[in-house]
Structure 1
Amino acid sequence: MRERLVVIGGDAAGMSAASQARRLKGPEELEIVAFERGHFSSYSACGIPYWVGGDVAARDELIARSPREHRARDIDLRMRTEVTELDVPGQRVRTRDLESGAESWTGFDKLVIGTGAQPVRPPLPGIDAPGVHGVQTLDDGQALLDSLTALETDGATGVPPAGARPGARGRAVVVGAGYIGVEMAEALLNRGYEVTVLNRGPQPMATLDPDMGRLVHEAMDGLGITTVGDAEVTAIRTGSDGRVRAVATADAEYPADVVVLGIGVRPETTLARAAGLPLGGHGGLLTDLAMRVRGHGNIWAGGDCVEVLDLVSGRERYIPLGTHANKHGQVIGSNVGGGYATFPGVVGTAVSKVCALEIARTGLREKDAREVGLRYVSVTIESTSRAGYYPGAAPMTVKMLAERRTGRLLGVQIVGREGAAKRVDIAAVALTAGMTVEAMTALDLGYAPPFSPVWDPVLIAARKAVAAVRAAE
């Protein structure tokens, strides 16, 4: 008897699961119906800042597989269709066609929830004014680009707006200084805007410790991006035409022709919550190692709507990244299709950049270690990306945390120029393997002057951490 798999969400986790399940089971065994409320499927949201900034020439370059391509693989992907209700006991979902308004029920034998995340959009005065943009989806990216194009067309005379620096196309304010915030600041700077970043915390990149965040702050200032810390936004000011004209904080007002929200995201689990599915402390769905929703044998979930196990702290965390979503989808699809796969957890690795500055982190920050009761030592070293005498050697700062007494590696943060960010992968592997910093010092890493000093910066940090662990005994 043919079963029906219903997938909610047409991006990374959902469509990876659908595609993998289809590889394992043909349409005569498994019918696959997927619902996506947007206009696009299987795309890279991480690439939106680079599309806006001009590094990626066209929107379609961010799309891995179109609805037509999915349908050609016997996946019934229904676009612009929103799931409005999940009936778990009845094994069915209610949907609404966003073009016609028609509603219907669709039954399922197996269900995959890949509803992703929703951007944090605080209920501030003026938050929905024209010219205020989030950047969560391709639709969001297109809306922002349309807004920028309109501004640039209106300003084609080359005369900057009143109060803007000479030569600027306009004034952009980015609210939030996490990954999306700093990447969008770079994109807007590259387009010729005068950019101000307003951050609620004292330093940008709260995923780093404050001392490493300060390095990012200094670099952004050096690029001409005005970065304001401890700036709590209180309102979006609008002009007589209703469009955004400024962003207000408790202490100041910042003129703006366009505003980009980079405050962060939270799990989109509205359907799951209403259906009584188990949620964690961060609001994400809870799953087992097979990505099956706990307590429900025929429902799986993956991507930005779930919480994952942190292998370093042993606790559940919310880390919305496309890398995890695609892995979740592969695991889910294998299990739905009759195979077997598990997702053991993460160590929290992420990289980003703002212009030439590269930013990376993995494992725990000092704050994280304290929260879970770990005693630790921390060390910071300065090194270079290549042998110091080789042309193009660039500075790099590495911070490393290790557990007291045991010397177990707990976390690494890196800020530097070309060649810095991907070095964090050394630490990610070491964290996953549960290595000590002393064991790391013997890692047989590749060396040649164009690629590294004779002692790689990560290993220099490990040597210093070994000394700190011994001194703390």
Structure 2
Amino acid sequence: MIDFPFAMAVFPATGNFGFSREPIRKIPGNQAGKKRLIFYPACGFVFFRVPVVLHGAYAGIGIHCPRENSVGNIIIVGFGSAGYAAVMAVKRADSRAAVTVLDPKHEDLMHPCGLPYALEGHVNSDHLVQSINLHRMGVKKIKAQALRIDGGARVIHARVDGDAIEVKYDTAILCTGSVPYVPPVKGATETRDSGLFTLTNIADLERIRARIKTAGAAIVIGAGAIGLETAVALKEYLPSVVVLEMKPQVLPGVLDPDMSRLVESYLESIGLELKLSTTAGEILSENGFAGVLSGGDRLEADMGILSAGFRANTELARLSGIEHGDDGIIVDESLATSLPGVYAAGDCIAGWSVIDGKRVPAKLATCAYKQGTTAGLNAAGKRAVYRGTAGTFVTKIGALEVAGTGYTSGTAEICGYETVSGKITSNYLPEYFPGGSEVSIKIICDRASGRILGAQAIGERGAAERINLISMALEFGVSAGEFGRVELAYCPAVSEVHDPVFKAVEFAMRRMAR
């Protein structure tokens, strides 16, 4: 909540006071017809230009600190990867822009991708929380939960510590992120945080750590990247960790089955038990989580991790009449929503593929950052276009790097392509040089055009850097033949003279020529 006496202390006494002529609307907590007090600092520097109507202790008081800028008030709702990128983009475009962030978190930034590694002990969890000196950039942050947007009045209704506020905007960017998906399984809601956990924030991490101290066995529901990262972390502490996955493979949707088998073999080699094509029919409860009932089998455990994916957080959009679907808020290439003056970026939007524009899930921090940048530039009056995502990802599961980009063979065929692929396993260093290891690479191409559609790579080292090369090829529509002409750096201590990625591409080309 903005403290008016504090505002008077901060701003120089050279300011001018006055009352706005228009009464504020009647909202619970306000007195009818109360005028809005406006303070205009006359000093050379100005902090913010954000009209805020507060309710409660300072009911009806609005603090309006105007400044000259070309873009008006930009309000950013949510401060994760997309929100942060949006702030930086706006300020780079116009350092004098008036920017306010509405976000309910206590901390500024929290890096959720690091949570499984903090659980495993590779990183200090305190380092996952980052303080950003927003005030030094002229950005105001209000610890508020946005509730609804009135597009006609260009007002965001929000709540701060139980008090209702209104924040006026000229343009707004929704960066509301995603929320963990809790499947409609009997017992899941009842045991949530009573032995059954998600891993999305520091509080979740601390609860899991506390439970581990008295646990002997755990069940992880979901074999996506976060589920597998968490399962490997739990194996550091517990003798028994079981992973349930309803699909017949781990990392479904991002790896082809032949590549996922490499990951499955590794997971089993380090002692994880995989139960694929297995659903959790019921969560067992005895004063908290006690296990899972699946297909008549009773799997007992002391704790469970629910890692069934994430869903776009579209609640604010829904309540504001903004067009959205099950996969997120509908936006155009500028990331504008159906509500004039409102953009959206990050996990909350419905993404599309850079390959052909088809809808694809894109809940990745890298995507969110680029989308936030695009939305921020457009909100600041520039012209930026978001072309789509390649879905480029990497995860570190124990000792393995697992990376991918673009379409899997299965997804490409669903999208109408006739695919041909090339897969090889090769050392990324010359055989005579010590310290190398094998990396397996699969390249997927369109048979008709030769265009590269996707790739996957797995190895102890070198998977991510090779997938990053293929990601660039996807961005520019490069064919396998064109990619083969690329020249890479070589030194026997670093790389092979004929890189494994070229071997996979050449294999795909030979198969296309048949």
TM-score (norm 1): 0.88
The percentage of counterpart residues that share the same residue type is: 29
Q: Given the alignment of the two structures, is residue 304 of structure 1 paired with residue 368 of structure 2, yes or no? A: no
Alpha-carbon shift at residue 365 of structure 1 (Å): 1.0
Map residues 121-132 of structure 1 onto 2, 5 A cutoff: 121-128=182-189, 129=191, 130-132=194-196
Report the equivalent of 1:286: 330
**CA contact 1:378–1:465 (8 Å) conserved in 2:** yes
Q: Given the alignment of the two structures, is residue 14 of structure 1 paired with residue 83 of structure 2, yes or no? A: yes
Map residues 22-421 of structure 1 onto 2, 5 A cutoff: 22-26=91-95, 30-59=97-126, 61-66=127-132, 69-79=133-143, 81-97=144-160, 100-128=161-189, 129=191, 130-136=194-200, 138=201, 141-152=202-213, 155=214, 170-192=216-238, 194-206=240-252, 207-239=254-286, 242-280=287-325, 282-293=326-337, 295-421=338-464
What secondary structure does 1:344 align onto? Answer: coil
What secondary structure does 1:316 align onto? Answer: coil
For the structure 1 residues 254 and 326, does the alpha-carbon distance in structure 2 shift closer, same or farther, using more than 3 Å as the test? same
Matches of 1:110 and 1:269, distance apart in 2:
18
Alpha-carbon shift at residue 23 of structure 1 (Å): 4.0
Alpha-carbon shift at residue 326 of structure 1 (Å): 1.4
Matches of 1:174 and 1:183, distance apart in 2:
10
Report the equivalent of 2:512: 469
**CA contact 1:304–1:321 (8 Å) conserved in 2:** yes
Superposed CA deviations along residues 8-61 of structure 1, whole A, max 9, x for unmatched, are 11222123212332344355xx432221123232222111111111111132x1
Matches of 1:63 and 1:381, distance apart in 2:
40
For the structure 1 residues 431 and 151, does the alpha-carbon distance in structure 2 shift closer, same or farther, using more than 3 Å as the test? closer
**CA contact 1:384–1:452 (8 Å) conserved in 2:** no
**CA contact 1:132–1:260 (8 Å) conserved in 2:** yes
Alpha-carbon shift at residue 104 of structure 1 (Å): 2.5
**CA contact 1:115–1:305 (8 Å) conserved in 2:** yes
Matches of 1:112 and 1:23, distance apart in 2:
16
Superposed CA deviations along residues 383-423 of structure 1, whole A, max 9, x for unmatched, are 12222232222222211111113211111111222222321
**CA contact 1:174–1:185 (8 Å) conserved in 2:** yes
Matches of 1:341 and 1:95, distance apart in 2:
29
What secondary structure does 1:319 align onto? Answer: coil
Superposed CA deviations along residues 168-211 of structure 1, whole A, max 9, x for unmatched, are xx212111001111111122123445311111111100111111
What secondary structure does 1:398 align onto? Answer: strand
Q: CA RMSD in A?
A: 1.9
Which amino acid in the other structure matches residue 175 of structure 1? I
Alpha-carbon shift at residue 243 of structure 1 (Å): 1.8
Which amino acid in the other structure matches residue 169 of structure 2? F
Which amino acid in the other structure matches residue 102 of structure 1? D
For the structure 1 residues 150 and 399, does the alpha-carbon distance in structure 2 shift closer, same or farther, using more than 3 Å as the test? closer
Superposed CA deviations along residues 107-133 of structure 1, whole A, max 9, x for unmatched, are 221111000011110132221310211
TM-score (norm 2): 0.81
Which amino acid in the other structure matches residue 291 of structure 2? A
Which amino acid in the other structure matches residue 290 of structure 2? R
What secondary structure does 2:219 align onto? Answer: strand
Alpha-carbon shift at residue 150 of structure 1 (Å): 4.9
**CA contact 2:364–2:391 (8 Å) conserved in 1:** no
**CA contact 1:95–1:105 (8 Å) conserved in 2:** yes
Unpaired segments of 5 or more residues in structure 1? 156-160, 162-169
Superposed CA deviations along residues 91-115 of structure 1, whole A, max 9, x for unmatched, are 1122122xx3222322221111000
Matches of 1:360 and 1:143, distance apart in 2:
26
What secondary structure does 1:197 align onto? Answer: strand
Which amino acid in the other structure matches residue 86 of structure 1? I
Superposed CA deviations along residues 218-275 of structure 1, whole A, max 9, x for unmatched, are 1100111111101101122122xx2212122124222222211111111111121232
Alpha-carbon shift at residue 439 of structure 1 (Å): 1.8
**CA contact 2:119–2:209 (8 Å) conserved in 1:** no
Superposed CA deviations along residues 314-348 of structure 1, whole A, max 9, x for unmatched, are 21222111111112222222222233332222212
Matches of 2:250 and 2:302, distance apart in 1:
23
Q: Given the alignment of the two structures, is residue 5 of structure 1 paired with residue 48 of structure 2, yes or no? A: no
Unpaired segments of 5 or more residues in structure 2? 1-65
What secondary structure does 2:324 align onto? Answer: coil
Superposed CA deviations along residues 363-387 of structure 1, whole A, max 9, x for unmatched, are 1111211111111212221212222
Aligned length, in residue pairs: 441
**CA contact 1:269–1:305 (8 Å) conserved in 2:** yes
Which amino acid in the other structure matches residue 448 of structure 2? R
Which amino acid in the other structure matches residue 121 of structure 2? G
Matches of 2:208 and 2:333, distance apart in 1:
43
